[in-house]
Amino acid sequence: MDFEIGDKMQIALTVVAILVVSLIGARILNAVLTRTLVKTTEYWRVDKTKFNFFKNALSFIIYSGAIIAIFYTIPALRTIGVSLLAGAGIFAAIIGFASQQAFSNIISGIFIVIFRPFRVGDFINVSGLHQGYVEDITLWHVVIKNSENKRIVIPNSIIGKETIINSHIADKRVCSLIDFEVSHTANINKAMELMHNEVLQHPKRIDYRTEEELENNKPEVSVRVINVSAMAVVIRVSAWAADNEEAYGMRCDLLKSIKERFDDEHIEMPFNYAQVLMNEKLRN
């Protein structure tokens, strides 16, 4: 009896030791690799995306090894494992069905790291549903930090099927297209001039033109009439910024400043009016 209790105690201590070693080992490894990432990206320009994915993969291997070791340590679990392997056909079918999505996420994550439609630190828009900065790419999912400082977690297999708009591939500069509607009776040329000047005066505006475009005297700010409807004339001005964050702030500022200039210069914007006509008999 004492012998059995001693064996069980030894098994319990072994399981606890495996769990403690795996948890501490994974955390130490994660801390060391994170510190190494900071140094290597600063001096050697190592890709953060591949490094983070490699770090997450190592943690997964450590935890998987711990689970296998626990199964091997506990005789009852080892017996169950042998029994399940004996009925490998049914077991394989169950495991295959249950792990299909998991393996799909892993494969999709590997493809994301290899083909790099986006990287850690990129600002992306996922099918117009979610947008923000890519914070991490794990074996299972992609973590996106949005403008509200919330984390959006999307499984790799899902994001791999979506249309991604990446604002950081090749060129971080962003062109904001700002549209204003003015009435048909408004001075169109004056409205275009006001919009042009407001963009030129904004401190976050950048000159995107190439040397060839400068030589050809291409205007720095483009202002055009893009549509004429029964209700209004639509004027669009383009404003370039260094990146998506700068572009967002600049766009908000320009919407406010242009509206205020229109009010000051009496540039009328169209509004919906309801005209009620009453029959002469109803008036009496």
Strands (E), the chain: 123-126, 130-137, 141-145, 151-155, 164-166, 174-182, 223-228, 233-241
pLDDT digits (tens, 9 = 90+) for 108-155: 888 888 888 898 889 999 998 999 999 988 888 899 999 899 999 999
Q: Which residue would you say has higher pLDDT here, 158 or 21?
A: 158
Where residue 145 falls (left for φ over 0; alpha for ψ -120 to 50; beta otherwise) is beta
Whole-number pLDDT of residue 147: 86
| Domain 174-264 is found in CATH 3.30.70.100 | yes
For 24, half-sphere exposure in the C-beta direction (CA atoms, 13 angstrom radius) is 6
pLDDT tens, position by position, 235-268: 999 999 998 889 999 999 999 999 999 999 999 9
123-166 CATH: 2.30.30
3-state helix, strand, coil in the chain (%, to 5): 55, 15, 30
CA distances (Å), origin 174, targets 148, 163, 166, 171, 251 = 21, 19, 11, 8, 11
Among 166-175, 214-223, 239-248, which stretch is predicted with the lowest mean pLDDT?
166-175
Q: Which of 180, 190, 189, 176 is nearest to 233 (CA)?
A: 180
Main-chain dihedrals φ then ψ at residue 154, nearest 5 degrees = -120, 125
Global confidence as pTM: 0.62
